[in-house]
Structure 1
Amino acid sequence: MTRSWWGWGNVEDAVTGAEAEELVARVAAFMPDHDFTPHDPPSPEDLGLPQPRVSAPGSLAHLASSSIEDRASHAHGRAYRDVVRNLAGEVTHAPDLVLRPETEADVVAVLDWATSAQVAVVPFGGGTSVVGGVEPRFEGPAVSLDLRALDRVLEIDRTSRAARIQAGVLGPQLEDQLRPHGLTLRHFPQSFEFSTLGGWLATRAGGHYATLLTHIDDLTESMRVVTPVGVSESRRLPGSGAGPSPDRMFLGSEGTLGVITEAWMRLQDRPRWQSGVTVDFDTFDAAVAATRAVAQSGLHPSNCRLLDPMEALVNAGTSTTGGLLVLAFESADHPVDAWLDRAVEIVRDHGGRPGPRSDRSTGEAAAPADAGSAWRSSFLRMPYQRDAVTRRSLIAETFETACTWDRFAELHAAITSAAYDVMARIGGEGVVTCRFTHVYPDGPAPYYGIYAPGRWGSLVSMWDEIKAGVSEAIAAHGGTITHHHAVGRDHAPWYAVQRPEPFALGLTAAKRALDPAGVLNPGVLGL
């Protein structure tokens, strides 16, 4: 497979042919007057990248690449605005070099050199950032530190059910190495195929579980981090009350305080019993109330994702007046029928209509395909579909937040109102979709999609206007600027509003202490 330099995933997996025609026809039903003429990406050689401003010292030369394709593919993440700029050939901030360390000692050597030479270092995992987290958006020389050669499971503690894992391992590589031991990390973000353990840790990624172990934080036992002033390694413990947690300082630090090289991660036995159902509702309010009741029931489903009517229609091809709740339970220890039975009772009490059950553990015939399975099957294709419609001048992007249940209705109304107001102002009548990706006893994590007609040459500015409008609504109504997409550079203005000022002072002091030369990912987190 060949990784795309400009868009999501593999070149061979792009949306083309009949799939592209069907996608365009589906979107055209909403936007019949739009011009769907596709725009092809340029080749990296046509980008006109400047010559590198810095050379690696002899001791690091074997790790360094200055090839145009390497530099172009490490210049941006994979957000909508990144894809648009790549398609337009606007690669303004490319790294001067890409460095691929093979050992932790190489990472130490790179930071020593960069600190002394005043060269910025941008840690790079799978490059799937959607918040400007890997773009060297600043003046001065920069190198991209690609950690994907650090890709092994180094040690497994079967007794404690944990493993010591290098940070550069991609999701599929990690699971392949755990599978022979009957173990799994069970962390499957949408970017799973192309993102790394270190990236998940650095961005506090959200994964497979809709309840309980929702963030990578919950699966982290200890971490090893290289900083310009030394290596930090926390002690392996199931829990500790010994002062502020060292791991908590580096989780979500996005490469600004140090480079994560490995971590001990808590594992799960691979599930044997899996049962689920999709529930239809007449009203969205009833669907939300049912989801809250399940989240507060103590049942802890592994999947509890609510799709609003527009999300169900656009991404599952199913009509519903109120929404669809995708529920599933799994266990490596026991059958889960009783848990699903009780969840079904709860949603029925709120007017929900469960569809056929699916049970992948008993050997029974699979349940008939339903809207929930249709949505799940399209989940991994969504980024490829986004690239396909982006080439055709559409605005197609997502953002997410989290709030307490008592604030959801007001926040949801403010976000959708802001999105539609901005779309009307910039001249596009689009649609807004919503789904819950994770739920907690005290609140949901709603995830929004924006689909609107755009104008080629103005797509970035149009999206930036929408993004600013919805971000202001989130900040004003008590949501978080990000539940699991990270802060990066794009969210920094609203993160500055969200974080308490004394904490900001402490974080800035930590940055000065750990990175006195200020070379680690400048600008991320507003640092």
Structure 2
Amino acid sequence: MATKSWWGWGNVEDAVTDSERANLTERVAALMPGADLTVHEPPPLNELSVPSPRIQAPQTLAELASTDLQDRVAHSHGQAFRDVVRNLIGRVEHVPDQVLRPRTEHDVLAIVDWCGENDIALIPFGGGTSVVGGVEPRTGHEYAGSISLDLARLNRILEVDRTSRAARIQAGIVGPDLEAGLRPHGLTLRHFPQSFEFSTLGGWLATRAGGHYATVYTHIDDMTESLRVVTPAGISQSRRLPGSGAGPSPDRLFLGSEGILGVITEAWMRVQDRPRYRAGAAVLFDDYPTAVDATRTIAQAGLFPANCRLLDPVEAFLNAATPSAGGVLVLGFESADHPVAEAMNRAAQICTDFGGRIPDGISVTESDDTATRPGAADTWRSSFLRMPYQRDALAAQSMIVETFETACTWDRFDELRHAVHAAAEQAFASIGSTGLVSCRFTHIYPDGPAPYFGIYASGTWGQTVEQWDEIKAAVSEALVTCGASITHHHAVGRDHRSWYDRQRPEPFAIALRAAKSALDPAGILNPGVLIDPTSRTPGRR
């Protein structure tokens, strides 16, 4: 059985190998001569300064509760760069008093009631993969205590409606188990974020997650048929419908609410037949603006590719090992019903019209298994899955490795890209660092792309959290100033709050605060996320 890392991404057994680290170190040293790449190890758990629990679960909930040190520490943070580095230097700052693991929805109700009656902050916890401070109990002493509500035991597929292609699924199930449960029915949710192995359905719903696919079925919102949510004011159960015009959608209230309005316990999800027909190609360009134009043309052609991921020259070189002056477009189509070669050929023709080249040719397959991607596409996909582990390894070597993801309209992308580069480079100079900025499109729409910027910079050990915070502030300011979103699919959490407040219309903010007040009058659910916590006397309602 794999061992989860308490301080970093994923499983201990899957961390970078010695040879992988040596390769990473060699590449970074070549790009950033003079960078201090000394390897630092995390401190032993028993050397961390962790306060004793302030609260104790009542006897009726005692068997659900854990005060184990590693358990508490592992639930004190997400998986952002700043989380990993703080753990590496032993700066574990906000640790829940207890971790509670409900077995049933009745247990969730009991925990919500107990926390509400005793002024205890309650933070819903799925897979713990938040990269925006969404599960960190930054509650200080304003509450009597804090509980991390781990939903891992609510992990079953309860019903499958093959006729309507829908499944009723508990919120705590992780991606691999969800897909394994649907496979015997010939079905798939078709939602594969980079965190797929460790993240949960409930987490995807609460953060309005985006999956791997570039178009159509990618946002978890569009796959949601019905939600069941436990709130302090009662249980909300929406009706199963393919669509409805009956007032504002009740599900949309909870999708993206990040645990501040209630605890999602289960959902009816729209599922798909498993893809059988696939086609893919890696297209190389000599000019990046032309590659962007080709990608936009595909997005507006009504072809709806499953993958249309444009890697700029830096991203193509670093993560696909492919030198290309204009970047690489990783392109793919799939269907459960019909061959997709015609759509693939049309997209390829668009690319060649813009000067694109397909040196490895087009791969066309018919199989229930994932097809092998050609050349650079396969290399990039393998690197994509290893990126979080490599990020951790480089973080332990004083490197600053993190990302920004956003969305903008096509007419603003060029301005946005230049603004992000300028902001990052100015921040690099401010902290006395050298760095690189990469960009890839994770999703595309007819009216705009979702750019995903990567930051690679040399840092100073013991200061990389503060150095990253300076870079993040500069780039986030550029995003909002250029009219882009502060986040496309990583949620708001606590780390994006100040920029989200500026993006959000004030009338909507008033409505959100009112909904919070009505559904969670004691203000116990994930305080500080999306809106300010309820005003309170420390330790009392």
1:334 aligns with 2:338: yes
Provide the C-alpha distance between the structure 1 equivalents of 2:81 and 2:372, rounded to a whole number of angstroms: 36
What is the match of residue 536 of structure 2? none
What is the match of residue 242 of structure 2? 238
Structure 1: which 5+ residue stretches go unaligned?
A: none
- 1:383-434 per-residue CA deviation (whole Å, 9 max, x = no partner) reads 0000000000000001100001111111111111101111111111100000
Q: Is contact 1:489–1:526 with CA below 8 Å preserved after alignment?
A: no
1:169 aligns with 2:173: yes
1:482 aligns with 2:487: yes
SS of equivalent residue, structure 1 residue 98: strand
1:351 aligns with 2:352: no
Question: Which amino acid in structure 2 is aligned with residue 153 of structure 1?
Answer: I
What is the match of residue 502 of structure 2? 497
Provide the C-alpha distance between the structure 2 equivalents of 1:238 and 1:367, rounded to a whole number of angstroms: 35
Q: Is contact 1:414–1:473 with CA below 8 Å preserved after alignment?
A: yes
1:118-133 mapped onto 2 (5 Å cutoff): 118-133=119-134
Question: Which amino acid in structure 1 is aligned with residue 135 of structure 2?
Answer: V
1:113 aligns with 2:108: no
SS of equivalent residue, structure 1 residue 312: helix
What is the match of residue 78 of structure 2? 77
Q: Is contact 1:172–1:192 with CA below 8 Å preserved after alignment?
A: yes
SS of equivalent residue, structure 2 residue 400: strand
Q: TM-score, normalised by structure 1?
A: 0.98
1:65-464 mapped onto 2 (5 Å cutoff): 65-140=66-141, 141-355=145-359, 356-361=361-366, 369-464=374-469
1:57 aligns with 2:58: yes
Provide the C-alpha distance between the structure 2 equivalents of 1:224 and 1:524, rounded to a whole number of angstroms: 21
Provide the C-alpha distance between the structure 2 equivalents of 1:12 and 1:478, rounded to a whole number of angstroms: 42
What is the match of residue 468 of structure 1? 473
| CA drift at 1:362 | 6.5
What is the match of residue 539 of structure 2? none
Question: Which amino acid in structure 1 is aligned with residue 99 of structure 2?
Answer: V
Question: Which amino acid in structure 2 is aligned with residue 326 of structure 1?
Answer: V
Name which of structure 1's ranges 171-180 and 17-26 shifts more when overlaid on structure 2. 17-26
Q: Is contact 1:205–1:484 with CA below 8 Å preserved after alignment?
A: yes
- 1:340-391 per-residue CA deviation (whole Å, 9 max, x = no partner) reads 0111111111111123212232699x87851111001111100000000000
Q: Is contact 1:276–1:357 with CA below 8 Å preserved after alignment?
A: yes
Q: Relative to structure 1, is the Cα distance of residues 399 and 143 closer, same or farther in structure 2, using a 3 angstrom cutoff?
A: same
Provide the C-alpha distance between the structure 1 equivalents of 2:522 and 2:208, rounded to a whole number of angstroms: 25
Question: Which amino acid in structure 1 is aligned with residue 352 of structure 2?
Answer: R
Q: Is contact 2:121–2:139 with CA below 8 Å preserved after alignment?
A: no
- 1:304-346 per-residue CA deviation (whole Å, 9 max, x = no partner) reads 0000000011111110000100110000000000000111111
SS of equivalent residue, structure 2 residue 366: coil
SS of equivalent residue, structure 2 residue 267: strand
Q: Is contact 1:281–1:321 with CA below 8 Å preserved after alignment?
A: yes
Question: Which amino acid in structure 2 is aligned with residue 322 of structure 1?
Answer: G
Q: Is contact 1:273–1:336 with CA below 8 Å preserved after alignment?
A: yes
Provide the C-alpha distance between the structure 1 equivalents of 2:20 and 2:343, rounded to a whole number of angstroms: 38
Q: Is contact 2:212–2:442 with CA below 8 Å preserved after alignment?
A: no
Provide the C-alpha distance between the structure 1 equivalents of 2:44 and 2:226, rounded to a whole number of angstroms: 42
SS of equivalent residue, structure 2 residue 515: helix
Question: Which amino acid in structure 1 is aligned with residue 351 of structure 2?
Answer: V
SS of equivalent residue, structure 2 residue 248: coil
Q: Relative to structure 1, is the Cα distance of residues 363 and 102 closer, same or farther in structure 2, using a 3 angstrom cutoff?
A: closer
Provide the C-alpha distance between the structure 2 equivalents of 1:501 and 1:35, rounded to a whole number of angstroms: 46
Q: Is contact 1:305–1:436 with CA below 8 Å preserved after alignment?
A: yes
| CA drift at 1:16 | 2.4
Q: Is contact 1:359–1:367 with CA below 8 Å preserved after alignment?
A: no
Provide the C-alpha distance between the structure 2 equivalents of 1:156 and 1:213, rounded to a whole number of angstroms: 19
Q: Relative to structure 1, is the Cα distance of residues 362 and 508 closer, same or farther in structure 2, using a 3 angstrom cutoff?
A: closer
Provide the C-alpha distance between the structure 2 equivalents of 1:143 and 1:46, rounded to a whole number of angstroms: 23
Q: Is contact 1:493–1:526 with CA below 8 Å preserved after alignment?
A: no
| CA drift at 1:34 | 1.2
Q: TM-score, normalised by structure 2?
A: 0.96
Q: Is contact 2:226–2:240 with CA below 8 Å preserved after alignment?
A: yes
Q: Relative to structure 1, is the Cα distance of residues 164 and 362 closer, same or farther in structure 2, using a 3 angstrom cutoff?
A: closer
SS of equivalent residue, structure 2 residue 167: strand
Question: Which amino acid in structure 1 is aligned with residue 326 of structure 2?
Answer: G
Provide the C-alpha distance between the structure 2 equivalents of 1:367 and 1:236, rounded to a whole number of angstroms: 37
| CA drift at 1:175 | 0.4
Q: Is contact 2:281–2:373 with CA below 8 Å preserved after alignment?
A: no
Provide the C-alpha distance between the structure 1 equivalents of 2:531 and 2:50, rounded to a whole number of angstroms: 27
Would you identify which runs of 4 or more consecutive aligned residues in structure 1 move more than 3 Å? Answer: 366-369
SS of equivalent residue, structure 1 residue 409: helix
Provide the C-alpha distance between the structure 2 equivalents of 1:170 and 1:192, rounded to a whole number of angstroms: 7
Provide the C-alpha distance between the structure 2 equivalents of 1:209 and 1:384, rounded to a whole number of angstroms: 22
Question: Which amino acid in structure 2 is aligned with residue 113 of structure 1?
Answer: W
Provide the C-alpha distance between the structure 2 equivalents of 1:436 and 1:238, rounded to a whole number of angstroms: 30
Provide the C-alpha distance between the structure 2 equivalents of 1:367 and 1:179, rounded to a whole number of angstroms: 20
- 1:192-235 per-residue CA deviation (whole Å, 9 max, x = no partner) reads 00000000000000002201122100100010000011000100
| CA drift at 1:118 | 0.2
- 1:136-164 per-residue CA deviation (whole Å, 9 max, x = no partner) reads 01213100000010000000000000000
Q: Is contact 2:341–2:364 with CA below 8 Å preserved after alignment?
A: no
Q: Is contact 2:279–2:340 with CA below 8 Å preserved after alignment?
A: yes
SS of equivalent residue, structure 1 residue 526: coil
Provide the C-alpha distance between the structure 1 equivalents of 2:148 and 2:465, rounded to a whole number of angstroms: 24
Q: Is contact 1:431–1:451 with CA below 8 Å preserved after alignment?
A: yes
- 1:233-271 per-residue CA deviation (whole Å, 9 max, x = no partner) reads 100000000000000000000000000000000000000
Question: Which amino acid in structure 2 is aligned with residue 175 of structure 1?
Answer: E
